[in-house]
Amino acid sequence: MRSAALSLFALLFCGCLVAHEEPAVRGMPRDDRSAPVSAVWVGHATVLIRIGNRTVLTDPNLAGAILVVPRETPASLEPRELPPIDVAILSHMHLDHFDAPTLRRLGPRPLVVYPKGGEAYDDEILQPRKRSLSPWESVETAGLRITAVPARHQGGRYGVDALWNHACTGYVIEGFGHRIFFAGDTGYDARLFHEIADRFPGIEIAFIPIAPGKKEGGVDRWGHANPRQALDIFTDVGARYMVPIHFEAYYSRGTDHGGPRRELETAVHSRRLEDRVFALHTGERIVLASAGPVVMH
């Protein structure tokens, strides 16, 4: 059992059910399953993505708190409301991105994919099907190809272990003729994101974190992009559309809760990206329809 002291250190550092019949999912009605790609922003870095007839859950965390710190905006779904998950992807092992109780509630069905080095925390991943990936490695399952791509962030799980554990990654998800980029948690590095674009042209939609990055001119020591850098990532990877993530759930106590959203809106307007960047509210979904993206409440 890891010590409470490590858990408390992790909290400070991070400021950085299977059924035979699929249940109706709040925010993703049954008739949406005919859409090629749709996604519900469950909150923070948790996105419920539907590709064809497959379902991917990113960075599963439906918890109401990280240790003793309550979540500022509740997750839009409870574990019992999730559909059967085919793949669960973990960008890294920090407590705000990998909540072990949430993962356990998914049952044995999903393949759990996580970065190389995450094996150190295998005792918290109880699913029988799991696979760690180094950058540029891929795994295929359920008609999907999941490829780990580089990210610039801290590894570990409890803060101090980041000194020797560097497990963190983003992912490109491919299947049914579609290509999606999930950045996980990352700072800005033009070289990395241009290489992703070179290897994976034609990304349709990118899920990119926008907080709690430093203000313009500040030093990003922990690997968190700010809203303007998130737009740089979006441009560098060559995606057609972007959905921002990783804001309005944690980190804003004592600061401006709505600041990242407003800063993003200003940057989007200045770059004339209003028809390509969709800042959802928790629980909203985006559908990539043939006529273009549709946001549904």
Question: Per-domain residue ranges for the chain?
Answer: 4-296
Rounded CA separation 184/171 (Å): 8
| Secondary structure letter of residue 145 according to DSSP | E
CA-CA distances (angstroms) from residue 52 to 3, 35, 143, 252, 257? 43, 7, 9, 36, 35
Which is nearest to 173 in space by CA: 31, 36, 79, 68?
36
216 has pLDDT over 60? no
Given strand 178-182, what is the order of strands in its sheet? 138-141, 144-149, 170-175, 178-182, 205-209, 241-245
Chain-wide mean pLDDT for the chain? 83
168 has pLDDT over 50? yes
Query: pLDDT tier at 166 (50, 70, 90 boundaries)?
Result: low
Rounded CA separation 296/25 (Å): 14
pLDDT of residue 254: 52
106-129 per-position pLDDT tens digit? 999 999 999 998 777 777 787 889
Query: pLDDT tier at 289 (50, 70, 90 boundaries)?
Result: confident
Which is nearest to 40 in space by CA: 51, 49, 53?
49
Say if residues 212 and 248 touch (Cβ distance below 8 Å).
no
- Calculate what percentage of the chain has a pLDDT beyond 70: 78
Say if residues 67 and 155 touch (Cβ distance below 8 Å).
no
**CATH architecture for the domain at 4-296:** 4-Layer Sandwich (3.60)
**Residues facing 130 on adjacent strands:** 112
Using the structure block, give the residue that is written with the tokens 């998950």: 85
User: Encoding tokens for residue 168?
Assistant: 């963190």
Given strand 130-133, what is the order of strands in its sheet? 130-133, 111-115, 87-89, 54-58, 46-51, 37-43, 285-289, 292-296
Q: Identify the sign of the CA torsion 140, 119, 92, 282.
A: positive
pLDDT of residue 78: 93
Q: What pTM did the predictor assign?
A: 0.84
Selection from 65-79, 187-201, 215-229 with the highest mean pLDDT: 187-201
